[in-house]
C-alpha cells in the first residue's frame, strides 16, 4: 500500500468444527482452512482419516472473521481482535 505495511488476518473461531484447523495455501492464490484433511497432517499412529458424515437434518456452521489492518500483526491488534472474537458474547441487562 504505497510503502505502508498492512495485513490481512483470517480468524478461525475456536467453536468451529475441529478448531484449530490446518490451513491450505497455494502460490496461485488459494487460502482456505482444511478441517477434513487430517490424514495428511497426522501421523499414522493415532491419526484419523478426516472424513465426517453429516446426517440428514444436521448442519455444520463455520465462523471466521477477516481483519484488514495497518501495520504488522502487533500494530494491527490481531491478538486482541482474536481474543475478543473468541469470547462468548456478553449480555448486558440494565
> In this predicted model, what pLDDT tens digit does every residue of 5-14 receive, in sequence order?
999 999 999 9
Residue 1's pLDDT band, with cuts at 50, 70 and 90, is: confident
Angle made by CA atoms 41, 43, 47, in degrees to the nearest 5: 85
d(CA 72, CA 25): 20
Instruction: Give the pLDDT confidence of 60-83 residue by residue, as tens digits.
Output: 999 999 999 999 999 999 999 999
pTM of the shown model: 0.74
In the chain, DSSP assigns E strands to 6-12, 22-25, 31-34, 64-70
Closest Cα partner for 62 from 23, 29, 33, 30?
33
Amino acid at each position: 500500500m504505497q510503502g505502508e505495511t498492512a495485513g490481512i488476518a483470517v480468524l478461525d473461531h475456536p467453536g468451529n468444527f475441529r478448531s484449530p484447523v490446518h490451513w491450505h495455501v497455494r502460490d496461485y492464490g488459494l487460502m482456505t482452512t482444511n478441517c477434513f484433511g487430517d490424514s495428511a497432517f497426522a501421523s499414522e499412529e493415532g491419526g484419523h482419516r478426516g472424513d465426517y458424515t453429516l446426517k440428514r437434518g444436521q448442519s455444520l456452521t463455520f465462523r471466521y472473521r477477516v481483519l484488514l489492518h495497518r501495520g504488522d500483526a502487533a500494530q494491527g491488534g490481531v491478538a486482541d481482535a482474536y481474543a475478543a472474537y473468541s469470547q462468548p458474547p456478553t449480555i448486558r441487562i440494565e
